[in-house]
A and B are shown apart, each in its own frame.
Chain A
Amino acid sequence: MGRLVDLNQIAVSLGGLPVLRDIELAIDAGETLGVSGPNGAGKTTLLRVLATLLAPITGSGTVLGAELGTAAVYPVRRSIGLLSHRPALIPELTLAENLRHAANLSGIEFSKAETALRVVGLDEVSSRTAAASSFGMLRRTEVARLLITSPTILLLDEPFTGLDVEAQELIGALVTRTTGDGGAVVMVSHEVGQLASHTSRLLTISLGRLEPAS
């Protein structure tokens, strides 16, 4: 598929304060990119730019061929998957209902979602509400959602935090599948060691700028 992301001199600000500046980034199909940095460095902001959810204030860039900050990003958003550091599930719905909701909105058959629940190991607890589920269970449900939506670009925000070894391996399998299918993965974390073992390229954010990790 070639070049999936191309950012040129991107600057982003939040609440009137500059967060990212002079961002130059190219991501090709099959790549797994790790971005490290301390808390507040702008890692999550970078992910949200790559998700086309935040428009740059200066600079230009494309994600899956769509120019950032234009209406062109709307059709490509379905090909982007984001695992935020806080789970995006409706607390009053069960894990299965949350997955069914995502499947319905994506036009995916629920049988595929049931398979995904079994693969992530939640088939026997899927009738538990999200509010009554542990963080690990919520994460697995979100992995199930990403399995059924099969995004081309997978964005992971602190994906291993708070997870047991089995769940971490599941994230690893998701990453492998995405890159194997011609997609790309961007993973951000403040733990460089975890990133190094799961990524093919490592960058760091320092003073709002992206630099190769030392």
Chain B
Amino acid sequence: MTRVRVLLAIAAVAMGVGLWFALTAPTDTLQGEFTRIINIHAPSMWLAFLAFGMTALGSAIWLIRKQSRWDRLAEASAELGVMFTAIGLFSGMVWGQAVWGRAWDWGDPRLSTTAVMFFVYIGYLALRAATPDPTVRARRSAILGVIAVVQVPLVYFSVNMFRTLHQTQSIRPDGITMPREMAIAIFVNVIAFTIVYIALLFARIDVAKAEERAAADIALAGDAVKPPRLSEVKDV
């Protein structure tokens, strides 16, 4: 748990630094202060992609090696991916409502595909919750985890395939199309969010390990079921 506490402390500091950068970065002329939402929205979506990628990785390795640590990674990362996607969707909707007067734009495939991605992993978590046997749960969710990751590149590249209201990538291999200070603020927040992800990932994995230990500690039923007290039957 010490490792987690240290990471959480670092994450808290990093988020503080990210907040400072977000509040001091320049804003867009048309969108005004609402521009700052990008420092939540963009890092959240990046971390969602990372998290679901880690889920796919953990799932694939579990299918090969059948070690529970990879299943714990896949599960924890999927939960965090859903959380970051929810934050990204919500912040995007607030931004859209404020700037364009609509929380949801059906003309934007990236929004729709992100929502679909969100529900794919909600289904992944529901599958896990519905499967009591640990090995069966790991196998079935590993299969789904590998299939579901197809959503991630689909979301990312959708904005390049369609002309949309959504902002295209501002940070591309051929250069950055936003003010340098704004890009730095986003970059700092991506790092801060990543540290938060790592801290929460380790914390969640520690919880999963504790749950497994607790389940193993439960006495085998055969040992804990005691002989009936036949002489006391008549007194109940």
Secondary structure type dominating chain A contacts:
helix
- Closest Cβ of chain A to B217, distance in Å, is 13
**B226 interfacial contact with A, CB 8 Å:** yes
**A166 interfacial contact with B, CB 8 Å:** yes
> Complex: how many Å from CA A147 to CA B229?
13
Which residues of chain B come closer than 8 Å to A147, judged between CB atoms?
233, 236
Assess whether A134 is in contact with B221, with CB atoms less than 8 Å apart. Answer: yes
Assess whether A116 is in contact with B236, with CB atoms less than 8 Å apart. Answer: yes
Question: Given A112, A121, A125, A136, which contacts B229 in the complex, CB threshold below 8 Å?
Answer: A121
Which residues of chain A come closer than 8 Å to B232, judged between CB atoms?
119
Chain B proximity mask over A160-175: 1 for CB below 8 Å, otherwise 0? 0000001101100110
- Tally of A-B residue pairs with Cβ under 8 A? 58
Chain B proximity mask over A199-210: 1 for CB below 8 Å, otherwise 0? 000000000000
Assess whether B224 is in contact with A124, with CB atoms less than 8 Å apart. Answer: yes
Chain B proximity mask over A167-204: 1 for CB below 8 Å, otherwise 0? 10110011011001000000000000000000000000
Question: Given A121, A132, A177, which contacts B228 in the complex, CB threshold below 8 Å?
Answer: A121
Assess whether A173 is in contact with B221, with CB atoms less than 8 Å apart. Answer: no
Residue of A nearest to B222 (CB): A134
Instruction: Please tell me the number of chain B residues within 8 Å of chain A, measured between CB atoms.
Output: 15
Assess whether B225 is in contact with A170, with CB atoms less than 8 Å apart. Answer: no
**B132 interfacial contact with A, CB 8 Å:** yes
Chain B proximity mask over A118-147: 1 for CB below 8 Å, otherwise 0? 111111110010011110110010000001
Residue of B nearest to A174 (CB): B233
> Complex: how many Å from CA A180 to CA B234?
9
Question: Given B225, B230, B233, which contacts A125 in the complex, CB threshold below 8 Å?
Answer: B225
Q: A121-B227, A121-B228, A124-B226 are in contact. Are A133 and B236 (CB under 8 A)?
A: no
- Closest Cβ of chain B to A98, distance in Å, is 16
Residue of B nearest to A147 (CB): B236
**A115 interfacial contact with B, CB 8 Å:** yes
**B1 interfacial contact with A, CB 8 Å:** no
Which residues of chain A come closer than 8 Å to B228, judged between CB atoms?
119-121, 140, 166-167, 169-170, 173
**A89 interfacial contact with B, CB 8 Å:** no
**A148 interfacial contact with B, CB 8 Å:** yes
Which residues of chain A come closer than 8 Å to B221, judged between CB atoms?
125, 128, 133-134, 137
Assess whether B234 is in contact with A136, with CB atoms less than 8 Å apart. Answer: no
Which residues of chain B come closer than 8 Å to A140, judged between CB atoms?
225, 228
> Complex: how many Å from CA A36 to CA B232?
30
Query: Which residues on B are within 8 Å of A, measured CB to CB?
Result: 132, 218-219, 221, 224-230, 232-234, 236
Closest 9 CB pairs of A and B: A121-B226, A173-B233, A170-B228, A147-B236, A124-B224, A173-B230, A125-B224, A121-B228, A119-B229
Query: Which residues on A are within 8 Å of B, measured CB to CB?
Result: 112, 115-116, 118-125, 128, 131-134, 136-137, 140, 147-148, 166-167, 169-170, 173-174, 176-177, 180
A-B contact sample (11 more), CB < 8 A, given A128-B221, A166-B227, A169-B228: A112-B236, A115-B236, A119-B229, A121-B228, A123-B226, A124-B225, A125-B221, A132-B132, A140-B228, A167-B228, A177-B234
